[in-house]
Amino acid sequence: MKISAQMTKRGGTRRALGAIALAVAAAAMSGLPAAQAASLQGAPAPFNKGGVKIALVNYLSEGDFFQAYEAGAQKQAKALGIDLRIYEGRQDAAEERDQIQQAINLGVAAIIVNHGLPESLKDVVQQALDKGIKVVAFDVDLANPKVPQIEQSDRDLATLLLGQAVKDNGAAFSAGYVYVAGFAPLDRRDAVWQSFKHDHPGVQEKARWGTVDNPIAQSVANQAAAAYRAHPDIRVVIAPYDEFARGANLAADEANLGSKLRIYSADISTADIEAIRAPNSAWVATAATNPAVVGAVSVRAAALEVAGQPLDHRIVVKPTLVTRDDLVKNDIHTIAELGTKFPAFRSSDAATAAWIPVDQ
Ligand code: SR1
């Protein structure tokens, strides 16, 4: 069940109440609870009884990555008979805190925190833990030994895309860099970029830009257009988030720079694959996981915590490098087709157990 900001505001609006009434009426008509929470035979308690509620609290929800992440989480929750309550992210730290509080009040067994600002979350997460609620975090470092941390190995991801940039362009080039500080995955990727520049004195960062203002890709495109005009010597753009790469690519397209620039990114979606494959596209490679698999891993990690079963503190979903050549040679147009060539895009063995169905 998705819980929107409108539905979560205190006091609620008539529209929100209407939506709830409709959901309840629909559930009553189908004879099912509002969200299915079935029992799972052979599973440890409480999954053998069903009715386990888990909250997924997002800081960001817009864009292909986060939509696929949520879809993967929902699919894994369904397979586990979990009643997953999804709180939409609006890049609002106060709202995310409030949503965690609401999940606590709802009596969930676990909370998955997807991104956010650590300083605004640590105390409310501690309140959840104090009440016996399990917490796992994806891409936000809550610095709490009781909170397992899920990530895509941002170090590997950045190393892969920078390695490809050197392979294609040599060890000396003028670069543009797209970055916004304060997001754990972007900060971890940035640490690799900083040491890469130190080790490659021939690589010059000529311009830096970036924003997470919605719509992110269009906002980044506006900045990129100005950067390309001011620094016509830029040949390589390092854009380690697909919304950034989409923006950098849009601006390159509009300025007819497709054959002059090469863009290296993180993340992948079916729309990204089409953009990378497009004739004359400047976007040539990306290092990525399947975000649906990461969403599934997050739910499995929360389930293992609830069942009291062993789980590493750091749970990593390994990224894979995908180049335009890979896509064209293998006639890949979608994430599903990508999974046939690269098994890592189908599933991950992170946070698994014999009783957990894994099927992405
Ligand atoms: C604003 S942070 C964006 C990143 O979060 C996830 O880790 C995705 O990989 C995306 O690049």
pLDDT, tens only, 259-310: 999 999 999 999 999 999 999 999 999 999 999 999 999 999 999 999 999 9
**Cβ–Cβ under 8 Å, residues 84 and 35:** yes
Count CB-CB contacts under 10 A for residue 101. 14
In the chain, where does the domain assigned CATH 3.40.50.2300 lie? 7-152+291-318, 154-288
- More confident call, 25 vs 254: 254
Q: 317 CA to middle of ligand 1, Å?
A: 13
Any ligand 1 atom below 6 A from CB of 183: yes
- For the segment 69-93, what is each residue's pLDDT rounded down to a tens digit? 999 999 999 999 999 999 999 999 9
User: What's the pTM value of the predicted model, to 2 decimals?
Assistant: 0.91
Any ligand 1 atom below 6 A from CB of 296: no
Per the structure block, which two tokens stand in for 300?
């499995």
Q: Which residues contact 70 (CB under 8 A, 6 or more apart)?
A: 56, 58, 61, 86, 295
Atom of ligand 1 nearest to the CA of 185: 7
Query: What is the CATH code for 154-288?
Result: 3.40.50.2300
Q: 35 CA to middle of ligand 1, Å?
A: 28
Determine the 3-state secondary structure of 41 from DSSP: coil
Query: What is the CATH code for 7-152+291-318?
Result: 3.40.50.2300
Residues in the chain: 360
Instruction: Work out the pLDDT band at 360, boundaries 50, 70, 90.
Output: low
What is the reported pLDDT for 13? 38
10 Å CB burial of residue 23 (0-12, 13-18, 19+) is middle
Task: Ligand 1 pocket test: pick from 186, 189, 213, 220 the residue with the most ligand atoms within 8 Å of its Cβ.
Answer: 186
Using the predicted structure, report yes or no on whether residue 18 has a pLDDT greater than 90. no
Average pLDDT of the segment spanning 230-249: 98
Task: Ligand 1 pocket test: pick from 139, 150, 192, 317 the residue with the most ligand atoms within 8 Å of its Cβ.
Answer: 139
Q: 98 CA to middle of ligand 1, Å?
A: 23
Residue with tokens 């010059």: 204
Any ligand 1 atom below 6 A from CB of 64: no
CA-closest candidate to residue 62, choices 241, 289, 266: 241
What is the reported pLDDT for 9? 41
Average pLDDT of the segment spanning 42-53: 96
Atom of ligand 1 nearest to the CA of 65: 8
What is the reported pLDDT for 25? 40
Average pLDDT of the segment spanning 344-349: 95
Using the predicted structure, report yes or no on whether residue 21 has a pLDDT greater than 80. no
Using the predicted structure, report yes or no on whether residue 222 has a pLDDT greater than 60. yes
Instruction: Work out the pLDDT band at 26, boundaries 50, 70, 90.
Output: very low
Atom of ligand 1 nearest to the CA of 242: 11
Using the predicted structure, report yes or no on whether residue 19 has a pLDDT greater than 70. no
Q: 76 CA to middle of ligand 1, Å?
A: 21
What is the reported pLDDT for 38? 78
- Cα–Cα distance measured from residue 281 to residue 228, given in angstroms and rounded to the nearest whole number: 16
Using the predicted structure, report yes or no on whether residue 56 has a pLDDT greater than 60. yes
Q: 46 CA to middle of ligand 1, Å?
A: 32
Average pLDDT of the segment spanning 314-327: 98
**Cβ–Cβ under 8 Å, residues 223 and 234:** no
Atom of ligand 1 nearest to the CA of 240: 11
Cα dihedral 154/160/163/164 (nearest 10): -130
Give the closest residue (by CA) to ligand 1 atom 6: 185
